[in-house]
Amino acid sequence: MTSKRDKKTGLRGRAATVGLDKAQIVNAAIEQIDQRGLAAFSMRELARTLGVSPAVIYWHVGGRQEDLFAEVSAVITAALADEFEPEQSWQERLRSVFRRYRHLVHQHPKVAPLLGAQMKSNGVANLVWVETVLAALAEAGFAGESLRDAFNVLIGGLSGFVTMELAPPPADDSSGWQQTFAERVESIDAESFPHTHAVLPLISNRIFVLRWQNGADVSYDSSFELLLDIIIDGLTLRAQQQGVSRR
């Protein structure tokens, strides 16, 4: 039965009945990370769910796990290349593109560490994205070293925020870290840490260091919007100063 020829490909045997390609592998990998998290991801497990020998992943995708992760990042950030309405000001275009970035990562929160904490993934070089940001900044009047700094402020500050926001909790919390930590936060000493204690009900599990759930469970929308406002306003101010100080 495996010796019959496949009508589409003309191949014989197992090779014909599998017909896997890179896109399917990458999509299956995303699904697996979405479900079990990055720490639990495994090449062998992926091969198992695809019903295939582990070696085929290496054949299709390249020699290392990092290659697969780079593909995963590329697929998830691909929509950053979508068009913008051209009548928007440079400020509005920047706002849109970084809101869009955050939205995309939020659809796959467990992939966030790949984008934020691995160079081969965050440098997967969505050139359209880079061009969009650089064009907006050039229009604002940035050039030379100040353009470089402005770009890094945007990516470092805003993508960095999203990375922190979605930092994953312990993989298998059988030891009850979340519960233990929650209790520890609730019982912070009023005399040693008066300001912290005073605002405990408002900040508990809702600020970055004293929390046991991440941005997938607790909203950081208003904090992100504030950072976005502050950065865009700050760049607007400095773009003007810069325009004045040059010739």
Partner DNA sequence: ACCTGAACACCGTTCAAGT
Q: Where along the sequence are the contacts to DNA (CB under 7 A)?
A: 2-3, 11-15, 18-20, 41-45, 51-56, 58-60, 63-66
- By CB under 8 A, name the one of 31, 82, 186, 233 that touches a second copy: 233
DSSP character string of 24-44? HHHHHHHHHHHHH-STT--HH
Other C-beta atoms closer than 10 Å to the C-beta of 215 total 24
Q: Which of 59, 117, 179, 241 binds a second copy (CB under 8 A)?
A: 117
Q: Out of a second copy, DNA, none, which partner does residue 56 contact, by CB within 5 to 8 A per kind?
A: DNA
Place of tokens 């796959």: 108
Binders of a second copy among residues 172 to 211 (CB under 8 A) are 175, 177, 181, 184-185, 188, 192-196, 199, 202-203, 206-211
CB of 219 closer than 8 Å to CB of 149? no
Part in contact with a second copy (CB under 8 A); list of ranges 11-19, 48-56, 93-101, 110-118? 110-118
Distance of CA 179 to the CA centre of its chain: 27
Contact with a second copy (CB under 8 A) among 9, 14, 27, 123: 123
Using the rule CB under 8 A, is 36 a contact of a second copy?
no
Q: Is 13 left (phi over 0), alpha (psi -120 to 50) or beta?
A: left
Q: Least CB distance from residue 1 to a second copy, whole Å?
A: 40
Residue 13 contacts residue 2 (beta carbons within 8 Å): yes
Length of the chain as a residue count? 247
13 binds, among DNA, a second copy, none (CB under 5 to 8 A by kind): DNA
Residue numbers 61-100 binding a second copy by CB under 8 A:
63-64, 66
Whole-number minimum distance, CB 31 to a second copy, in Å? 21
Q: Are 17 and 4 in contact (CB under 8 A)?
A: no
Maximum CA extent, the chain: 79
DSSP state letter for 110: G
- Contact partner, 19, from a second copy, DNA, none, Cβ < 5-8 Å per class: DNA
Quote the least distance from Cβ 232 to DNA, whole Å: 40
